[in-house]
Structure formats: C-alpha cells, structure tokens
Amino acid sequence: MTDTARQLREPRAARVAERVWVLDDPRAGTSAQAIGIAERLGVPFRRIPLSWNWMAHVAALARNGSLLGLSVPSRAEDTSATPWAMQTTMLAARSAAPRLVISAGSRSASVGLWLKARFGCRLVHCMRPGLAGLFRGDAYDMLVIPEHDRPRASGNVFTTLGAPHRLSPNALQQAAETWKERLGHLPHPRVTLMVGGGLSPADAHKLGRDVARLAAERGGAVLATTSRRTGPEATEALAAGLGRALHLLYRWGEPDENPYRGFLAMADAIVVTADSVSMLSEACASSAPVFAALPRLAGTRHRRFLAAMEARGQIRMLDDDVSPWPRMTLDEAGRVAHEIMRRFPLELSGTD
C-alpha cells in the first residue's frame, strides 16, 4: 500500500497528529533548515520528500503557487509528493491537510504557496523565496532569512544569525555518548577540522599542515572530515598535510558511518573553512571555540556572514591560538521554533 492510500485509510485522530508538514528539498543543507526547526517544535510532523523537474522555475511564477515542478521523488519509494498524489490525498481527506507548513529554498516556496492557497495553513519559509515571493512576499506568514542577506524589514520577516540546522543541544549530547568509546582515547586538545569546497590541493595541504601543527604542539589530535564539495585531489592533499599529527580523516563518501556529529561533539576546538555558512553555523551549536580558516574562499555574502559572526563573538579567524573565549552556544533553530510557537499556538495545539 502506498503512503497516499495509507493516509486515506488512517483514522482521523492519527492524521491530526501530523498537522505540521515539512517540505523536504533533496539538497541536504536546505532541508536541514526546515527539518531542524520542526524537530524543535516538540510536536509530530510529516516530511514530504520533494523532487524536481524542469518546470520548477516556471511553477515559481504562479501567483498562488503550483505543483508543476514536482516529479516522483528519487529517494525511496514514497510517491506522496507527486502533484496528482498530493492533490488526491488532501482533497479526499481534507482533515489531513496541514495547519502549518515549513519549507526552505526557492524551489519549495511555490509548493508551500499552493498548500496555503488551498487549505489556509500557516506557511513558514526559510531563505529567500526567490521568484515565488516576487509578487507575494506578504503571503508567507513568516520568512526566516539570515541577516547577512539583508532582508527588508517587515512584520513577517524573522532574521537569524547564520542558518538553522538539526544539531540541537540534545543531538550533540547524544552524539557525544555515541562516539565517546571510539574517540575518547584520543588526547586533548582534540581539534576538529571541517573542510568545505573551493580549495586547491595547495590550500588543502597547507590547511592540514597548519592545523596538524597546532594540535601536535599541544600534544593533541585532529579530527578531520571533508564534504561532497572538497574533491578527491584536495582531500588527498589534506591527508598529506595532516601527517605530522595524530589524526583521523573521514573522506566524503567512505562506506563507514560519517563521524561528523561525533567530531563536533568531542571537539575542544573547531576549525571550519570560511566557504560554508551551514558548517560554521553547526559548529557554533557546540560549546567549543570556533575558528574560520581560509577567509579568501568566502564570497560577498559569506564575508558579511563572517563579519556578523565575528562581531557577535561566535567565531574568530584562525591564527596560532586555539584557546577558548566566553561564547554563548548558537541555537537559531530553537529560537525560530520558539517564535513559531509564540505566533501560531493554535496551529500546534493538535485540537480542532
């Protein structure tokens, strides 16, 4: 039985429990914003996996949103997000319609508008909605936009410092418990190195060498991880640079479990390449000092982000000192969730 058919057969009480829907864009950094906020609401929610066809940009021009840009999801066999299935499900069982939709990214913005136009749900959207918000920016009940994007002041705009994500304090605590047996034997300080993209092999080698020296001089170890954007040549150059220190390196795509969360949770200091807003935001969810490396990799928007984070005492530029300083952990997903609960309490109450 498909998910769509199962929903139609479920008793009404079960459907009421999932009145919060999250539009799950296939891009990990995008979907993590919406999912992370939903996880902090403390209520059941349903993830709607989205996949796109060439009509996605055309659909964004529809004033009341459109499902034309949706295709069959490539992840798993759930086909409940196709245009036909979504309309059939909700029109046949109106009580299953969401009260609150959380979306992220320009492509999912038009799907959120479609749901709002037909079912009157509240719509919270992360990031700028792109073309879908060109003429209907006021249709979004809440726009969650980072301050480095310089959004216009408006009653429905809520600004964040960096990007919301899924690394809540509880998630980091669980990661520490999960990974302490595998990483607990490593000496302190443990310097976690998170590498994004845009590095040349020479940059990667020098970064690895510099971080290895910082750890080795203090008798510590390096916990390094690369991303899908790093590339094999830069990854191998990074590995060569790390050679002088005790280290673990997770290469993106290796079959073993990705230790990303464990490396963050067990870190005494964290170094992140300056090209990644999401990784820097996630690093600041920990209590460790956070340092940005290779600031020349940052574009204009990223430089504004780095300046804002540095001005708030969240990060420092990497030099020869990895000592901590007083810093409040950053929890923007929790702050957004609190604002949603304040603005839309009825939508989260679970009653009709």
Number of domains within the chain: 2
Q: Is the pLDDT of residue 226 over 70?
A: yes
Q: Classify residue 322: in a domain, yes or no.
A: no
Q: Is the pLDDT of residue 290 over 60?
A: yes
Query: Which candidate, 331, 316, 22, places its Cα nearest to that of 166?
Result: 331
* Structure confidence at residue 132 (pLDDT): 66
Q: Classify residue 323: in a domain, yes or no.
A: no
Cis peptide before 326 (omega within 30 of 0): no
Q: Classify residue 15: in a domain, yes or no.
A: yes
Q: Let me know whether 196 and 271 are in one domain.
A: yes
* Structure confidence at residue 2 (pLDDT): 39
% pLDDT > 90, the chain = 67
Q: Let me know whether 19 and 133 are in one domain.
A: yes
pLDDT in tens, 231-280: 999 999 999 999 999 999 999 989 888 999 999 999 999 999 999 999 99
| Res. 71 pLDDT band, cuts 50 70 90 | confident
Provide the CATH number for the domain around residue 296. Answer: 3.40.50.2000
| Res. 16 pLDDT band, cuts 50 70 90 | very low
Q: Is the pLDDT of residue 314 over 60?
A: yes
Between CA 78 and CA 59 the distance in angstroms is 22
pLDDT in tens, 147-206: 999 988 889 999 999 999 999 999 999 999 999 999 999 999 999 999 999 899 999 999
Q: Let me know whether 279 and 248 are in one domain.
A: yes
* Structure confidence at residue 54 (pLDDT): 84
Which DSSP symbol is given to 329? Answer: P
φ/ψ bin of 300: left (φ > 0), alpha (ψ from -120 to 50), beta (otherwise): alpha
| 3-state percent breakdown (helix, strand, coil) of the chain, nearest 5 | 45, 15, 40
Kindly report the average pLDDT of the chain as a whole number: 87
Q: Classify residue 42: in a domain, yes or no.
A: yes
Between CA 150 and CA 218 the distance in angstroms is 41
Query: Which candidate, 148, 150, 127, places its Cα nearest to that of 140?
Result: 127
Residue listed under structure tokens 């600004």:
159
Q: Classify residue 215: in a domain, yes or no.
A: yes
Between CA 22 and CA 33 the distance in angstroms is 10
Angle, CA of 178, 179 and 181, to the nearest 5°: 100
Q: Let me know whether 7 and 118 are in one domain.
A: yes
Q: Let me know whether 160 and 16 are in one domain.
A: yes
Tokens of 326: 């007083």
Q: Let me know whether 215 and 273 are in one domain.
A: yes
Q: Let me know whether 182 and 124 are in one domain.
A: no
Q: Let me know whether 126 and 194 are in one domain.
A: no
Residue listed under structure tokens 């038009």:
110
Contact 66, 90 (CB under 8 A): no
Q: Is the pLDDT of residue 3 over 50?
A: no
Name which residue leads in pLDDT, 1 or 181.
181
Amino acid identity at 65: G
* Structure confidence at residue 307 (pLDDT): 96
Q: Classify residue 140: in a domain, yes or no.
A: yes
pLDDT in tens, 87-115: 555 554 455 789 999 999 988 999 999 99
Q: Classify residue 326: in a domain, yes or no.
A: no
Q: Let me know whether 7 and 44 are in one domain.
A: yes
Amino acid identity at 220: G
Under 8 Å CB-to-CB from 279, ≥6 apart: which residues? 194, 196, 227, 272, 273
3-class secondary structure for the chain? CCHHHHHHHCCHHHHHCCCEEEEECCCHHHHHHHHHHHHHCCCCEEEEECCECCCHHHHCCCCCCCCCCECCCCCCCCCCCCHHHHHHHHHHCHHHCCCEEEEECHHHHHHHHHHHHHHCCEEEEECCCHHHHCCCHHHCCEEEEEHHHCCCCCCCEEEECCCCCCCCHHHHHHHHHHHHHHHCCCCCCEEEEECCCCCCHHHHHHHHHHHHHHHHHCCCEEEEECCCCCCHHHHHHHHHHHHHCEEEEECCCCCCCCCHHHHHHCCCEEEEECCCHHHHHHHCCCCCCEEEECHHHCCHHHHHHHHHHHHCCCCEECCCCCCCCCCCCCCHHHHHHHHHHHHCCHHHCCCC
- Domain with 199, as residue range(s), is 169-317
Mean pLDDT of 327-348: 94
pTM to 2 decimals? Answer: 0.87
Q: Let me know whether 36 and 66 are in one domain.
A: yes
Name which residue leads in pLDDT, 84 or 275.
275
| Res. 6 pLDDT band, cuts 50 70 90 | very low
Q: Classify residue 325: in a domain, yes or no.
A: no
Provide the CATH number for the domain around residue 29. Answer: 3.40.50
Q: Is the pLDDT of residue 15 over 90?
A: no
Q: Let me know whether 80 and 105 are in one domain.
A: yes
Q: Let me know whether 10 and 136 are in one domain.
A: yes
- At 102, is the secondary structure helix, strand, or coil? strand
